[in-house]
Amino acid sequence: MSRPRKQHEPLDFSFEEVLSTIADENKPLLQEAGARPFVKWAGGKRSILSELLARIPKTYRTYCEPFIGGGALFFAAKPEKAYLSDVNFHLVLAFVAVRDDLDGLIANLKIHVTKHDKDYFMRARTQLSREKDPTKVAALFIYLNKTCYNGLYRVNRAGEFNVPIGSYTTPTILDDTNLRSASRSLQGVEIKQHVFSQVPVENGNFYYLDPPYHKTFDGYDSSRFGDKDHERLAAFCRALEDRRCFFMLSNSDTPFVRSLYKGFKIEKVSGARFVSCKADGRGKENELVIRNYE
């Protein structure tokens, strides 16, 4: 194994603008033999997946992803050993349920399929923060993800899910085939709920970091990922460098981000990210892929 190579102003977005940034994430993947993400997720990596796959190190010990989101790269890369984590409690419960209690999860999703309408959606939205059974929580989360507006996960300061219902005619609440594929992919994978800095750091591991992008929507849990968090993440990446780990990071192409990772390999790629609710403001936007290895 080769060794890795050794301010700005806040930007506010309306709710409609935030929703438009993930419109492309609702489209099915053109590829895929095997598992794919079983939830929609803002900032999903579908549009640049081929770019990321081409940049993964040829050899590494454990695949680690501290901002798992939908897990597009994990499912596509099919690593032999993996450690997945996220700060989002409901998302982590969903991954654990797919791994450990698939039959129970599917049984609960079948109930949601038969009862879905606007009134049921609103009751489920309230129930998400009250339900205690982990598998039922996971099923509620997936149901809401598949039926809310554009699959957005947004919560208020109290941590309560508050996205409105989407305008789908026949939402795919239960994709039995993909859930079973995802469950097979997750067997033996360690899944934890914590912040990125708590991920175990070990020599030779590969870390893919996909944080909430700088100057974009960051309300996917009750906390916010601001400039100080991006600075802490950059410091974490330098610690990975010092421990002879491999890391690859995705983020917005902003002067602030470029300054944080000066000295590392920074490449610009084009991803389908909508940045405005107005039709003439939509299109592909540049983003960065940053690495500490060739």
Q: What CATH number does residue 237 fall under?
A: 3.40.50.150
The DSSP-derived string for 58-94 is SS-S-EEESS-TT-HHHHHH--SSEEEEES-HHHHHH
Strand partners, 143: none
Residue 5 belongs to a domain: no
Q: What is the pLDDT of residue 283?
A: 54
Any idea which residue has 């983003």 for tokens? Answer: 287
Q: What whole-number distance in Å separates Cα of residue 220 and Cα of residue 199?
A: 20
What number is the average pLDDT over the span 61-89? Answer: 97
Indicate whether 32 belongs to any domain: yes
The pLDDT of residue 160 is 86
Q: Is the pLDDT of residue 143 over 60?
A: yes
Among left, alpha and beta (phi > 0; psi -120 to 50; other), residue 263 is left
On the question of pLDDT at 273 being above 90, the answer is: no
Q: Which domain holds residue 202?
A: 15-104+176-291
Domain count, the chain: 1
Least confident interval from 27-36, 41-50, 125-134, 165-174: 27-36
Instruction: Please state the pTM of the whole predicted model.
Output: 0.84
Instruction: Decide which of 41 and 259 is more confident.
Output: 259
pLDDT value at 217 more than 70:
no
pLDDT per position as a tens digit, 99-136 = 999 999 999 999 999 999 999 999 999 999 999 999 99
- Tracing tokens 């490449």 back to the chain, one arrives at 267
Q: Model confidence over 43-72: pLDDT tens digits?
A: 778 889 999 999 999 999 999 999 999 999
Residue 25 within any structural domain of the chain: yes
Q: What DSSP assignment string belongs to 205-263?
A: -EEEE-PSPTTS---SSSS---HHHHHHHHHHHHHHHHTT-EEEEEEE--HHHHHHTTT
| pLDDT at residue 140, as a whole number | 98
- % of the chain at pLDDT higher than 90: 73
Model confidence pLDDT, tens digit, residues 229-238 = 999 999 999 9
Assign 34 a pLDDT band (cuts: 50, 70, 90). confident
Strand partners, 86: 193
pLDDT at 220: 52
Q: What is the tens place of the pLDDT at every residue in 282-292?
A: 456 789 999 99
Report which of residues 186 and 6 the model is more confident about: 186
pLDDT band at 30 (very low <50, low <70, confident <90, very high): very low
Best CA proximity match to 59, nearest among 79, 35, 84: 79
- pLDDT value of position 33: 59
Residue 149 inside a domain? The answer is no
Label residue 18 by pLDDT band (50, 70, 90): very low
Q: Name, of 5-19, 155-169, 207-221, the range with top average pLDDT.
A: 155-169
Of 222, 82, 202, 119, the C-alpha closest to 161 is 222
